[in-house]
């Protein structure tokens, strides 16, 4: 649940934090097969995420680490290594990004709707 710089990325730890994300990015939750009880918080360029119908996601990846602030990850494999997300599958690795994260009216960050990946 920690990035390579040792910063905590678990939703349970970050649910009350004010997280700065750049314009065009969304907070999403990733699930690691090695940490099934935890959701890891990630900042991902929304152009690389599917719409509500599982379509229109650009190929590729762009993400930032919300733990240490490192920006500009262009490959999901590189990003997943940085956030210590242990991947069990090679094709469609982005499917480890499972949930949109939403902030309640009380300011608590929590698991939102599933990301609709097709294929």
- 64-79: average pLDDT: 94
Tokens representing 40 are: 């890891």
88 has a pLDDT exceeding 80 = no
Per-residue pLDDT, 86 = 80
Query: What pTM was estimated for this model as a whole?
Result: 0.90
Extents of the domains making up the chain: 23-112
119 has a pLDDT exceeding 70 = no
Confidence of residue 42 (pLDDT cuts 50, 70, 90): very high
Mean per-residue pLDDT of the chain? 91
Question: Would you call 91 helix, strand, or coil by DSSP?
Answer: coil
């Amino acid at each position: 649940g920690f990035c390579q710089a040792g910063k905590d990325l678990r939703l349970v730890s970050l649910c009350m934090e004010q997280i700065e994300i750049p314009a065009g990015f969304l907070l999403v939750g990733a699930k690691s097969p090695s940490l099934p009880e935890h959701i890891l918080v990630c900042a991902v360029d929304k152009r690389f995420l599917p719409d509500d119908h599982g379509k229109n996601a650009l190929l590729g990846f762009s993400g930032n680490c919300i733990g240490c602030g490192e920006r500009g990850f262009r490959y999901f494999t590189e990003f997943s290594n940085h956030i210590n997300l242990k991947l069990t599958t090679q094709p469609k690795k982005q499917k480890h990004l499972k949930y949109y994260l939403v902030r309640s009216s009380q300011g608590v960050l929590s698991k939102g709707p599933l990301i609709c990946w097709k294929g």
